[in-house]
Structure 1
Amino acid sequence: MRSDYWDQPAFETIRPRRIVAPIVFNSPHSGRNYPVRFLAMTRLDHLSIRQSEDAFVDELFGRAPHLGAPLLRAHFPRAYLDVNREPWELDPTMFIEPLSDRFNTTSPRVAAGLGTLARVVAENKPIYRDRLTLDDARMRIEGIYHPYHAALQNLLTEAASSFGVAILVDCHSMPRLGRNGERATPDIVLGDRYGTTCAPVLIDLVETAFTAAGLKVARNRPYAGGFCTRAYGRPQHGTHAIQIEISRHLYMSETTLEKNAGFEPLRRMVEGLIQSLLGLDLVQLAAPGFVPQQAAAE
């Protein structure tokens, strides 16, 4: 089956002229290029199908390459393919053919309709008119998912080779948690899989940047970090990963998916966060019990 992105890039790596720090920014859910064939397969209108997007997150973090760090961003939408899942996390009810034991068909994400190929978008709206073929899944996963993760791994490997450590900042947005009148609902949720995927100094720095801007920050609840955070965050091996979830109401209308007056101030605040991350003392990235390579050699 020919790729739905045969005539356009499915994703893009934006590299700085000079890399100044071992930080890789990843925006896997902000893609908004919907293939014609996919739109013909869905029962949803164009606004409804976009409810799963982390809309404009790639723009919020868009200054990273100008400041000295690469940005990997998807052009394919999350409703089409979710690279923040295991590669074969599939719902058997979505396919014409039966799925063998090689597929993960029983995860909580699959049960929720949010596998590698999602069954629903927000508010549990079914995406497809008819069932899919496994060839369709293979086209998306082998042709886009695997190359996307290869690109991400290459960026982290390059960072580690140059600086001795690598940091993945996984960039996301979330629906507003609660409404006016509910106290202590967070504007930002930081995920490090309950302290296992990055050194404390890293998540502390990010939290401080957001709280200094007057935003309420929570850790790991309700989002502790998805597949990318879990798969790449290995502090004991010098690779750190943190997930950032930004409440969409801060910068856009969740109904019309248009930017609001908060977008530009938030973008500037995120730019300040990027600068703080780029200035982080790499020696501080040693997690408790982690011995830096140079110390181990002495």
Structure 2
Amino acid sequence: MQDWLTVHEGSAPLVIGLPHTGTDIPAAIEARMTSGWLARKDADWWVDRLYDFAVDMGATLVRTGVSRSVIDVNRDPSGVSLYPGMTTTGLCPTETFDGEPLYRAGQEPDGAEIAERRATWFDPYHAALQTQLDRLRGDGPVVLYDAHSIRSIVPRLFEGELPQFNIGDNDGATCAGDLTQAVEAACAISGASLVVNGRFKGGWTTRHYGRPETGVHAIQMELADRGYILDPSGLVSPDNWPSPYEPERAEPMRQHLHRVLTACIAFAESQR
């Protein structure tokens, strides 16, 4: 196993993908970038720590330690936009969510380099996901839960403040409606805001693997990170971002997410 790719195998019918928690950037790539802080700004900060309880639930976790600014393993490798007509970032992003350039002029990756990055990081990450899904699917249906977070306010990507829980199944295509309803109900108990198939309907991972008819039910959870860390209300800078992980602030969210993952496992087991 590559040192940047972490796989924890569990026995429950639940695979959790962690595609954006990594912050590793090869030195040769970072030297071409405008700022190491900008290059890590849009990470899904602390999400791997937020969900670490899932190991004790028997879940399988697949995580890449490589920064999404190097390659985004949740983007369509063909380059097709997941959200046509809306602002988004690509397979090898050249700007942040806020539109700041990631590379010095003329230092952006070309087609050959993008293909190399795909072979080096994207393909092995998805091979690991597929291996785990195949392993668990041998005993019946399995849930793929793609775990994400984002700042609550990113004007370039969406208006206003993002709901706390953003559940995506690509308009019902990637999993059974019963699973989406169970996840939604588990979130609703928190009393926090939530939406299904709002701004975030599920990225490439959810859309690629979600084939309910084959026994793989995929769902994405995009959290507004104010639920577990201090989320700056204005502009972020190296002085206030990333906010440190605060266990006391995060504990209620962990309890909510434990309920969500319990619902995912219960759904899969009910189909076996």
Do both share a fold (TM > 0.5)? yes
Deviations 1:246-295 (A, max 9, x none): 0012222344212245223212332233233323363459xxxxxxxxxx
Would you say the 8 A contact 2:71–2:93 is kept in 1?
yes
Aligned to 1:22: 13
Q: Match of 1:81, SS?
A: coil
Q: Is the 8 A contact 2:175 2:210 kept in 1?
A: yes
Equivalent residues of 2:152, 2:161 under 8 A apart: no
Percent identical pairs in the alignment equals 30
1:41 to 9, 25, 32: 32
Give distance in 2, aligned partners of 1:165 and 1:281. 6
Q: Name the residue aligned to 1:259.
A: 245
Matched, 1:172 2:159: no
Instruction: Tell me if the contact between 1:32 and 1:77 (Cα under 8 Å) persists in the aligned partners.
Output: yes
Larger radius of gyration: 1
The offset of 1:65, in angstroms, is: 2.0
Q: Which amino acid aligns with 1:66?
A: D
d(CA) in 2 for partners of 1:177 and 1:153?
A: 33
Determine the structure 1 residue equivalent to 2:207: 230
Q: Which of 71, 81, 84 lines up with 2:74 in the alignment?
A: 84
Q: 2:91 aligns with which of 116, 121, 125?
A: 116
Counterpart contact for 1:24–1:168, Cα < 8 Å: yes
Please list the CA deviations of residues 218-240 of structure 1 after superposition, one character each: whole Å capped at 9, or x if unmatched: 01111111111111111122211
2:257 equivalent among 270, 273, 277: 270
Aligned to 1:210: 187
- Partners in 1 of 2:95 and 2:154 — Cα distance? 22
Take 2:85 and 2:194, find their aligned partners in 1: how far apart are those partners? 28
1:153/1:67 Cα in 2 relative to 1: closer, same or farther (>3 Å)?
A: same
Cα-to-partner distance string for 1:17-38 (whole Å, 9 max, x where unaligned): xx0x211000101112222222
Q: Deviations over 1:136-183 (max 9, x none)?
A: 223210111111111111111111112x2121001111221589xx99
Partner secondary structure for residue 199 of structure 2: coil
1:25/1:170 contact within 8 Å kept: yes
**Partners in 2 of 1:178 and 1:9 — Cα distance?**
32
- 1:32 maps to what in 2? 23
Match of 2:100 in 1: 125
Contact 2:151–2:226, Cα closer than 8 Å, also in 1 = yes
Match of 1:10 among 1, 4, 7: 4
What CA RMSD, in Å, does the superposition of the two structures yield over aligned residues? 2.7
Which residues of structure 2 form unaligned runs of 5+? none
1:85-105 CA-partner distances (Å, limit 9, x unpaired): 12242xxxxxxxxxxxxxx5x
Taking the aligned partners of 1:192 and 1:227, their CA distance within structure 2 comes to: 11
Residues 41 and 253 of structure 1: CA distance in aligned 2, closer, same or farther (over 3 Å): farther
Query: How many residue pairs align between the two structures?
Result: 257
**Against the structure 1 CA distance between its residues 160 and 107, is the aligned structure 2 distance closer, same or farther, given a 3 Å change threshold?**
closer
Q: Is the CA contact (8 Å cut-off) linking 1:13 and 1:71 kept in structure 2?
A: yes
Kept in 2: contact 1:113–1:119 (CA 8 A): no
| Letter paired with 1:119 | T
